A = this chain, B = another copy of it.
Amino acid sequence: MPAETDERYHHGNLRAALLAAAEQTARESGVDALSLRDLARQVGVSHAAPRRHFPDRQSLLDALAVNGFQRIDTELRAAVARAGDDFVARLKALTQTYTRFATRDAALLELMFSRKHGENADVFLAAAQPSFTLLEDLLQEGQVQGVLREGPIDQIGIVLFATMHGIAAMTNGHLAPPDLLEGLANTAVEQFVRGAGRA
């Protein structure tokens, strides 16, 4: 064991350390408060070290966002699995989990849905895809069980996803009271099930 003097020339895990520090700082103080130089200080490296791992500030933010999509996908799948077999219960679990995540990590959400990545749009889409697929698979369950009417699952999925996301976004933007969050999410699901239900 090479004597962790904290003075090794190479950090050994800088990229991950920077992302971790960034995530915490973002959660506490917002994305705008993220500074490459400050992160470098937090981690204990020189101000230009992050450049080896993130060519510019935006690319760090992008990595953060992609991480976010992966984390939320994990949480969503766990929640759906935990919710049992009932279709509506599963849908509510997904919605609640999403809105809760999105309000807990508001800064991260803002990053994930930021429009500052015309370039890497495909990377973001790929990162988000698993969760979209999860929702679409769930909706298909609903159709097979006869709870939902037939229809273009992808479009319906986007609309429902948009509703979840919008509820979270409005809450984060202080345009909807936080204590309504849970109720709104449930109302949304119930209306959706009636609206997309078999006639």
Contacts and interface: CB of A to CB of B under 8 A. Distances in A.
A162 B170 CA distance: 7
A195 interface: yes
Given A124-B175, A166-B166, A192-B191, A32 B116 contact: yes
Nearest to A195: B195
A113 B192 contact: no
Interface string A147-189: 0000000011011011111110110111110001001100110
A172 B117 CA distance: 10
Contacts of A8: none
Most buried by B among A114, A162, A193: A162
Given A118-B174, A124-B174, A163-B188, 18 more contacts: A114-B173, A115-B172, A115-B174, A124-B173, A125-B174, A155-B183, A155-B184, A158-B176, A159-B184, A159-B187, A162-B162, A162-B167, A162-B188, A163-B163, A191-B192, A191-B195, A194-B196, A194-B197
A105 B120 CA distance: 21
Identical copies of this chain, number: 2
A169 B173 contact: no
Given A155-B184, A162-B188, A173 B113 contact: yes
Interface residues of A, number: 47
A112 interface: yes
A158 B173 contact: no
7 contacts: A107-B115, A114-B173, A115-B173, A164-B166, A166-B167, A193-B195, A194-B196
Contact of A166 (B32, B161, B183, B196): B161
A112 B125 CA distance: 24
